[in-house]
Amino acid sequence: MCIYNTGTRQGLIDSLTDMRGYLEDDETELRDLTDSALGKLEAMNDGDFETLVLVPDFDEEENNGE
């Protein structure tokens, strides 16, 4: 979600919805993940959205292949 985040809940919903339209038929896992995220975003309010931390959280060990 962090790469599609426009700074607002509705902007993120719009970006994810747009991206979803480009998915191929065989990208079912990404479609399911996107649908789940969209459902959660639509169920929350803007105040709840503002409390989310939408930045990558990469574990340093994962980046080093360990």
> 20 with 31: CB under 8 angstroms?
yes
pLDDT at res. 45: 98
pLDDT at res. 58: 76
Nearest partner of 14 among 22, 23, 24, 4, judged by Cα: 4
CA separation for the pair 22, 32 (Å, rounded): 14
Residue 62 has pLDDT above 90, yes or no: no
Overall average pLDDT of the 36-64 stretch:
86
Residue 59 has pLDDT above 80, yes or no: no
Residue 60 has pLDDT above 70, yes or no: no
The phi-psi region of residue 59 (left if phi > 0; otherwise alpha if psi is between -120 and 50; otherwise beta) is: beta
Residue with tokens 């719009």: 14
